[in-house]
Structures are given as C-alpha cells and as structure tokens.
Structure 1
C-alpha cells in the first residue's frame, strides 16, 4: 500500500473517530442531565481514575493478543511465525493455563520490543482519555451552568479600594519600588519605606501597612527569585495587583563631578548587570553592589567624594541633590520591571486578568506535562513559569506559574480541579497608571546631607 492509499485509510479512521467523539459527547450530555437531577458534582476523581485504569487494562489485553502478529516485525531470515501471546486469566493456545508464551514467539528481542510498545501505547491512551474527560467536564459545566469551586476561599469584589492607604516598599525615597507604588496608588496614600522585602510583607500582615510592593521580574535580568520564595513563606500574603515600571538607570554624582573622574559606581546588583555595557566601555570604573538603588544615591551624597557615582532613577538624583552625568545607561532601552502589589485579603476584582499559582510535583516522568496539559485543554494561556528548589529536599522543585484568566471563569476552575496540591497566590489586574497624579514625583529635595 502506497503513501496515498495509507493517507486515505488514515482519513477514513479519523472520520470514524470524529463520529465516535460525537457519540461520546451525546452520552456525556445525558450524564449531565442525570447529574442535574441528582445534584451530583461534575468532577468525580474516583470514577476518573477507575476509567483510566480500565482503558489501560483493556489496551494491554488488546496489544498482548495482537502485537505478536501485527505490531512486531520478525527479524529477517526467521522462517517461523511468531506464537500467540498468553492473555492473563485465559488458557494459552497450547492448552496450559498460566504459562506465559513470549510475546513475539522465539525472539527475546521481539519480546522486549513488544514490552516497550505496550508501555508507550498505555501511556498514550491514558493521556488521551485524561484529556477526553477534561473536555467532557468542560462540556457538562456549560450545559449545567455550574462553576466548579476552586476550593480556595477567594471572594470576588467589584474593585479593590486603593485610596488613602498605607503602601510599603523596600528601600529609600527615590527607589524604583517607590516609583512603582506611586504609579499604582493615588497621591492621598502614605508611602512607607522599609528595610527589606521581607519587612514590607511583614508590615502588611501585622497591619502597619495595607499593601506591599515587591519586584518579581525584570525584562532584561529575569526573576527576583527570593521574592517567589517569600510569597510561600507567608501563606497569608495575597497578590492583589501588578505594576509594570519602565526602568531607566541614570548615572549621578556630586555636583561638580565628571564622568572622567569617576572610579566607583554603586547600585543594586541587577541595575549593575543591566548596565554591563557601560562598565565594558569604562573598565577603570569599579561596580559596587548595594541593597537598593536609592541607598546607592544616598551613599554617594553622604560620602562627599566626587570620584563616586550611583546608578539609580532620575528621581533619586533630585531627592539626594546629585548631578546627572549620563542618562539611559542600561543597554536595554525597553528595560521594564514587573512589581507585585501584595495584601492579606483573599479577594480578586471582577475583571482580574492574571492568575498566579504555586505547586509541587512528584518526581515522576510526565507530571509537569500533565499539569501544563490541563491549561492547554482548558484553553488557558500560560504566560510565565518559574521553578525554585524546595528547601531541605535536594533537586526537588516547586513551580510558580501565571495563567491568563479569572477565577470566575468555568474553564479556569476546571483546570484548577485537575491540578495536584496547589496554592492560589492571587488573581489580579494591572494597577499601573490607575490614578492621575498631581506631579510626576512629589519628592522632597534633600539638601545638606541626610
């Protein structure tokens, strides 16, 4: 049979599959009616596992009966036909019960091939039916108009109040985190500098602040990995919003300083990395890491030394009375940092667009694939995935993912129902530029030192 004829046969089989799919959907619709009458839940995990085991066992039996004659090719030069395999629970063709016959007759090599083939198809059919059942649940939910519970305790609200709130951020006035906070909240809020990322979250959980602003990833440098871990260390913390802040690093020094005289530049390690090309062009200048860009600007101000400079925001230069030696020092002009807005109330806005989740998986082949498949077959866009090592469990990892969707969406809830143990970190929208500001940055100029 040539390729054209084979393709015709495949088309015929595929048409039969479509007919069988339609027949299955019709039966699923009847199941939905019965569940409506009985009030039973759409998801029945015990039944689904039984179904997977059943189709897997059926496939094994079918393959053991048919593979020796159809799926395994005899080696060239072998004259004898392969013997038929024994089916568990049945008499062998030779009349003896319970004595297994090699799957491919005389050849041990063929037997191993048959075993590999059975294993492959068993996994394949389990995955096929897992996705069929996922699609069936989606169809039942649409027929019933039900939304499966995410078992998360989150509550939908029309909007998240942001006026006259206390907003904590890491660093000093002029830090990029403060800019993100002011970009996300109105001028009537109080913006509270904090020593560390941890203390910003702790201030929210203790009630000293209403929100905390945390950087989570940068378009040039990647994830702020420690803050992923921080979110899990505080289970009460909830992501309520996000902010995208374009970042332009400015080189600043004391008035009277000049680029030719600069010997050391202070900044946060990420800011230094984002300006790597600058340091390649000026090899005599030493890059000195600090905890925060605004702290670097203050360090230069306090030093009184014109040989020192800082990489920070233009607002930091204004606050600390420094002169700008060079703008746009970072090599990536589209450099943007994404910040998370964290609170402690399990709420989400009606129009929330991004869902952040965390989960751990058993160390087995295919577990991550199955989780990602639940998003695919529920038509959800996965926008970010990040892995982090699990403490005290070497070479085991937890995953953080962002999915575009809302907890009120039945497809989102259906996907969540398929996940192993997971935690919803938040369902939220972009807070950037939500309020008009009276000034670009209402900072107080600091004169004569700190």
Structure 2
C-alpha cells in the first residue's frame, strides 16, 4: 500500500533545507570576497579551472545517492559562476578617492607625457608631479612619492624607448595601464621669428628622430638635444632669441606663447607614442586584455624559437617584442613581450606555466586594459 504523502510536511522539510542552504551560501559568498581581495593583492586570475573541478568532485563525493552527481555538478557550476562574477566586480571596483592620487610624468606641463597623463586620469582627482628624467619618475613610484608614473615606451615611427624598458624591469615596477597619444610635432619660436632665421633648434632626441626628413631640408639648423619637447619650448621662450626654435606639440606653443613656424613636421602622418602607467604594486582588472612580460631564454641553439612556439601553439597574438642586453652577460638578452590576453584565460595560464618551466628568467610586468585606439 502506497504511503500517503503530506505535502505541507514535505514543504516544511524543503523550507528547512533551503534555510540551511542559504546560510551556507551566504558564508560561502563572504569567503569568496576574501578570496577576491587576496587575488587582487597578489595579481592572481579570477578563474582557476583546476580548482573548480576539484570542488565539483569533492561535492559529488559527499553524496549518499550518487544518482544526484550530475545535478550537483550543475549546481556547483552555477554557484561558482556567481562567485566569479562577484570576484571580478570586487577586483575591478575603483576605490573611493578620499584624497587625491599622486601621479607623475616625464617632462613638464604642455608635454606629450602630460597630455597622456591628463587623458588617462581624466575625471580623477590627482596631484600632478613632473620629472626631468625617466629614472626620477620610476624612483618616485618605488619610494612612494607618487602612486602612478607615466612614461613613453614606444613610438610608431622610431620604435621602443629602450631606457624605459630597462628601468621598469630594473626597479621591479608593474604596468597598470597604457595610453596612446597621436604626436604632431611643430617647429615653434618667439613671435617675430622667421623660418629662414632659425639657427638652433631644441628638442628631445625622439622629437628630432621623428622629424628627420624635415630637418634634412634645413642643414643650417643646429639640432640641440634637450630634456623634453615641452622643456625645449620653455627654454626657447626664456632665451628671448628670434634665432632659436623648438620641436614640440601645439599645446606647448600655446602654453609658452610661441608661434608655429612649420606645422606637423614629423615624417609619419600616423605618428603615435604609447605611454605606460607604472605602479609599485601589481594591479588586475577583470577586463584586462593585454599582458606585458619579460623573459630570458637559455643560452643554447633554438631556445628562443622553442619559447616563441608556446605562444603560437596557444593561439596567442604577440603585439610587441623588444630585446635588451643582460648586464654582465655578453650577447645574452632580456625579451620584453606584449601579447593580447587575460591571465584568467586557460591558454594564457598554460603558456605561462610553460614559460616558467623553460625560461632562464620570467616575470609578468602587468595585465591591463590596452588602449583600444592602438590595438584595434
């Protein structure tokens, strides 16, 4: 004879189970937020698929009725998807700025570095600091004088700025972001100056390199390397000479009251400089899509070829590769690599594992959002 069921009694049993389930779920979510904070502090990816599979297997092992195993697997997948979303939100959440961010850049107001800083931190409450050499920016980040530093690292016309690559690695800094700025160099001088009367021109060496075709037509102009493009404009203003000019951006001409004698003199019409935002601590955001790392390969035939194969076989796109000499080791090099991806991606995690196991040196400098204007 079939036992007569009491629906209300069954529902009370379900309600009690739900109450226990919700209490356990709330405790789990609180633990998830602590995990998110740990991952943020240690620059770890949100998703760890190997860990998830172990969690599912452990949950299924607690079942008395193994027929429920598929249902438990589905339940745990849903729970962990919710947890991942919470972790991503926690990690990418912007801290409430009760005090201004201390931010510094190379050059002075009116420089392209200043422009990159203003555009990257637009809408933020920041205190601005200016430094005359690259290394001073890096040192200020390391000693806590500023939280973020802005440095040029690559130009679409002249390539990588090698000193910056070396400094970021040597001082163990991390890359938190990037900003690409279109560069339009102009020849500028005091009001009343004429192009034919210019005998001395000041600018940063990169500025001269990006305008070499223009200056080939004016051999009478002596090119004098200076701290930065904006400092060059300032120096011309202070000189009071109608025979001196500077190569700098339009913003520098406006700031120092100079007139543009020749506009957009860089030979590459798409001249762009990529600036990196450096920090002392690693940062991570769920929507990061670019990774910068440094490797050194074993000093043996085919070592670099094999290492580059890891990226190819994982379907990863390299966007930049720069080599820098290793001090004290003739003909051995560090390789600075930019690639598209997120450290939470399975193919990225596998590639990172292979690099750690097979490189003489390996370090992740940052996983951050690319400036889409350059990447796409």
TM-score (normalizing by structure 1): 0.60
| Residue 195 of structure 1, aligned match among 123, 132, 142 | 132
Q: CA deviation at 1:393?
A: 0.8
Structure 2 equivalent of residue 383 of structure 1 = 319
Structure 2 equivalent of residue 272 of structure 1 = 208
- Specify every segment of 5 or more residues in structure 1 that has no aligned partner in the other structure, as ranges: 1-32, 39-145, 147-154, 434-450
Taking the TM superposition and a 5 Å limit, the aligned residue runs for 1:295-444 are 295-419=231-355, 420=359, 421-430=361-370
In 1, are the aligned partners of 2:291 and 2:342 still within 8 Å (CA)? yes
Q: CA deviation at 1:196?
A: 1.5
Q: CA deviation at 1:345?
A: 2.2
| Residue 221 of structure 1, aligned match among 148, 158, 164 | 158
Q: Please state whether the residue corresponding to 2:163 is helix, strand or coil.
A: helix
- The two structures, once aligned, show a CA RMSD in angstroms of 2.6
Q: What per-residue deviation string (whole Å, max 9, x for no partner) do you get for residues 6-51 of structure 1?
A: xxxxxxxxxxxxxxxxxxxxxxxxxxx999969xxxxxxxxxxxxx
Segment drifting more, 157-166 vs 375-384:
157-166
CA distance in 1, matches of 2:122, 2:204: 27
Segment drifting more, 189-198 vs 332-341:
189-198
Structure with bigger gyration radius: 1
Q: Please state whether the residue corresponding to 1:430 is helix, strand or coil.
A: coil
Taking the TM superposition and a 5 Å limit, the aligned residue runs for 1:123-134 are none
CA distance in 2, matches of 1:313, 1:210: 27
TM-score (normalizing by structure 2): 0.72
CA distance in 2, matches of 1:432, 1:173: 25
Large movers: runs of 4+ above 4 Å: 33-38, 159-163
CA distance in 1, matches of 2:157, 2:202: 19
Q: CA deviation at 1:273?
A: 1.1
Q: What per-residue deviation string (whole Å, max 9, x for no partner) do you get for residues 367-400 of structure 1?
A: 1112111111111111111111000111111111
Structure 1 equivalent of residue 14 of structure 2 = none
Q: CA deviation at 1:261?
A: 0.9
Q: 1:406 to 1:276 in 2, by over 3 A?
A: same
Q: CA deviation at 1:190?
A: 2.0
Structure 2 equivalent of residue 211 of structure 1 = 148
Q: Please state whether the residue corresponding to 1:364 is helix, strand or coil.
A: coil
Q: How many residues in Structure 1 have an aligned counterpart in Structure 2?
A: 288
Q: 1:203 to 1:35 in 2, by over 3 A?
A: closer
Q: 1:161 to 1:338 in 2, by over 3 A?
A: farther
Q: What per-residue deviation string (whole Å, max 9, x for no partner) do you get for residues 80-113 of structure 1?
A: xxxxxxxxxxxxxxxxxxxxxxxxxxxxxxxxxx
| Residue 157 of structure 1, aligned match among 88, 91, 111 | 91
In 2, are the aligned partners of 1:214 and 1:339 still within 8 Å (CA)? yes
Q: CA deviation at 1:186?
A: 2.0
Q: CA deviation at 1:252?
A: 0.7
Q: Please state whether the residue corresponding to 1:157 is helix, strand or coil.
A: helix
Q: Please state whether the residue corresponding to 1:228 is helix, strand or coil.
A: helix
CA distance in 2, matches of 1:34, 1:413: 17
Taking the TM superposition and a 5 Å limit, the aligned residue runs for 1:19-34 are none
- Specify every segment of 5 or more residues in structure 2 that has no aligned partner in the other structure, as ranges: 1-52, 59-79, 81-88
